[in-house]
Structure 1
Amino acid sequence: MEIHAVLSRLFTGAQAVGAQGVFQFIFSADSAIWAEVGNELALESGTHPAADVTIELDEADFAAILEGGQDVEELFANGRLKITGQVGLATLLPQMIGIAMRGAEPPSQTRTKDERFPAPEREADRVSRDQPILEAVERCPREQLSIVRFREEYLPVGKPLIITGALNDWPLFNMSREESAACFGELQGITRHGDYVSKTFSAERDFRSGSMADFISSMDDEAPESSVGARPAYMGNNAVPAQLMELIRFPDYFEESLYIKPRIWIGPKGTLTPLHRDDSDNFFAQVWGRKSFILAAPHHREALGTWSTSPDGGLEGCSFNPDAPDYEAFPAAREVTFYRVVVEAGEILFIPDGWFHQVESVSTSLSVNFWANCGRGWSV
């Protein structure tokens, strides 16, 4: 593998996702390369005295990542990939690698970091517009929700649902908090700190890496005192490591091959993910604790001031805050019906593609979510 050529493609990917700064890869004591990414791309051998982010891993592991034989998040979780400096920049690494593997051409115009774009209409928006307003989000016991019923009543029209008694066959759910914490061993995760709420989807959030077990042991039910705008630290959106996969179960409603690798969310009371929406169906499983959700239907995209992280559509956040509504700036939001639900331990919330949701921990919480990359066509 010709490292310089590979990293040149990788940092072209960095330009494409709007990542700027000095990235440094250290493969061994005598093998290091850094790149300064901005409007231009400079690539040099050796170490940099003031790199923004340093990524340390074995060259063989790096080659395996690019060949599709290793997962960057799995290497990180097991301590075989280390990150120092601005961890937020390193969180863009999977996107950068994906672009490098596809052989993308350099962007015609370098994107500005954390640039926002108009959110395009989706098929989910059009389907949602034709549906009657829900009176409430239903709760249904798992044993009464067959695959056929789910696919006929809920999936085609994008109807949210809470499935009760959904985790009874999960080993992780049937463990005490202390027992489950012991299963995390030496696994690593990325935590969010400070005012991460107002910096939704931004690489400039205060990200840090650390032990999952240590983070769990540090939590309690009361949010610690923090600076203005800050929330308690949140170990959110980490890939479920291989060691934990045997402790969870994929929901029955899609083939397992259609699920994206599940994600794990761990935090004390008070953690918050502001109003946003995904581009996949989402099964959100509550393992311990409770989480409150605010939901809104997809066709309210314009009323909620929705914006995207990509000109072609991507992660979508909202400028409207349902907990502090500014109806002068967003007058159409008065017509939006918000559904407030609490998901209890052992339940799964089905969030259909395109549904807006805001999530807050009511207590110390561990959750696992499953995005389904089913590529389904909408039908009514």
Structure 2
Amino acid sequence: MDSPVVWFPQICEATCEMPRLAALDVLDSLSDEAFSKEYAARSMPFLLRLGALKFSEAEILGLLQGAYGDQTVNVRFGNMADPGSYLNRREEEMPLRNFIGEHFMQVNDAGTAYAAGTVIPVEMARDLGVSFPIFYPEYFFNEPRMWMGKKGTVTALHKDIPDNFSFAYFGAKEWLLYPPADFPYLYMIHPNPNALPDFGVSMVNAKSPDATRFPEFSKATPISITQRAGDLLYVPAGWSHFVENHEDSLMINFWLRRGRSPAVLGRDR
């Protein structure tokens, strides 16, 4: 099963009695049982430090430009912190080596070009030394996706549909995570008729909120976490998030298939 359904009201109901987190758990290890009982079933995000990576940043850029240089990536242009720019962004498909050479390696292109959300072959992720998260069988997941951008590139405040596992390969990025209970204060809209039902984008610029236009936004209390190379971040379905690259960054993420998520509703087995 992998069909769109509306889960968000059920997620809110399932989590409304849970205590608000003051900070994310930062872990050095996590068993399958603890993941299922303590985090997935309770809609609790965490950061798991997986340790040393297979390649250096220079080695990975060489691999991407060489063996995978012909891989097509989708590149977003503009100020993605601004919701209007995010929703009406210009996008362009190009070979990965072109993106790296013409945008990622260019000093004067910071914050304007972001290779975001491109589906990549499983073989490419494995060659990078990135495996599917161990907490589920591989067939529970969609194809891996790649996010590559310079310092200053941003993904606007939004909420996705399924549970998300994001692995940072190099660089550092800040996440602002908002629990489902904060949804009434985030001024979310459903962006277009073709978007899946539970996807939403906030009309608030989380970096520079307009208190006059969005007075309720001040009631939202996000958790801030900095993700660095070798960190796996788990973001349960229904948690809204704003993401900013504080350094030139490469991330690969794995979304659970919609028929397997969200775990808090007992859909993870």
TM-score range (shorter-chain normalised) is 0.7 to 0.9
Q: 2:115 aligns with which of 213, 229, 235?
A: 235
* 1:256 is the counterpart of 2:138: yes
- Aligned residue type for 1:146: S
Q: d(CA) in 2 for partners of 1:160 and 1:210?
A: 34
* 1:210 is the counterpart of 2:94: yes
Q: d(CA) in 2 for partners of 1:292 and 1:221?
A: 22
2:27 equivalent in structure 1: 140
Higher relative contact order (CA 8 A, sep 6+): 2
Contact persistence 1:191–1:234 (CA under 8 A): yes
Contact persistence 2:86–2:156 (CA under 8 A): no
1:364 equivalent in structure 2: 248
| TM-fit CA distance, 1:356 | 0.8
TM-score of the two chains, using structure 1 as the length reference: 0.60
Q: d(CA) in 2 for partners of 1:283 and 1:200?
A: 26
- Aligned residue type for 2:40: L
Q: How does 1:1-380 map to 2 (within 5 A)?
A: 121-141=8-28, 144-165=29-50, 168=52, 171=54, 176-181=59-64, 182-196=66-80, 197-199=82-84, 202=87, 204-218=88-102, 219-220=104-105, 222=107, 224=109, 231-247=111-127, 248-309=130-191, 313-373=197-257, 374-375=260-261, 376=263, 378=265
Q: d(CA) in 1 for partners of 2:39 and 2:7?
A: 24
Q: d(CA) in 1 for partners of 2:138 and 2:151?
A: 32
Q: d(CA) in 1 for partners of 2:256 and 2:216?
A: 31
- Aligned residue type for 1:132: P
Q: d(CA) in 2 for partners of 1:253 and 1:326?
A: 40
Distance 1:337 1:237, change over 3 A: same
Distance 1:126 1:329, change over 3 A: farther
Q: Percent identity, please.
A: 24
Q: d(CA) in 2 for partners of 1:243 and 1:296?
A: 33
TM-score of the two chains, using structure 2 as the length reference: 0.83
Q: d(CA) in 2 for partners of 1:377 and 1:136?
A: 19
| TM-fit CA distance, 1:195 | 4.1
Distance 1:223 1:259, change over 3 A: farther
| TM-fit CA distance, 1:188 | 1.8
Distance 1:208 1:221, change over 3 A: closer
Superposed CA offset, 1:133-187 (max 9, x none): 112111101xx20111111100111111000026x4x656787234333332322
Structure 2 unaligned blocks of 5 or more: none
Superposed CA offset, 1:53-85 (max 9, x none): xxxxxxxxxxxxxxxxxxxxxxxxxxxxxxxxx
Contact persistence 2:42–2:264 (CA under 8 A): no
Contact persistence 1:287–1:367 (CA under 8 A): yes
Number of residue pairs matched?
253
Q: d(CA) in 2 for partners of 1:309 and 1:354?
A: 16
Contact persistence 1:232–1:271 (CA under 8 A): yes
Pairwise CA RMSD: 2.7
Distance 1:173 1:280, change over 3 A: farther
- Please give the secondary structure, in 1, of the residue aligned with 2:147: strand
- Please give the secondary structure, in 1, of the residue aligned with 2:98: helix
Q: d(CA) in 2 for partners of 1:327 and 1:150?
A: 38
- Please give the secondary structure, in 2, of the residue aligned with 1:217: helix
| TM-fit CA distance, 1:130 | 1.4
Distance 1:126 1:172, change over 3 A: farther
Structure 1 unaligned blocks of 5 or more: 1-97, 99-118, 226-230
Distance 1:198 1:176, change over 3 A: same
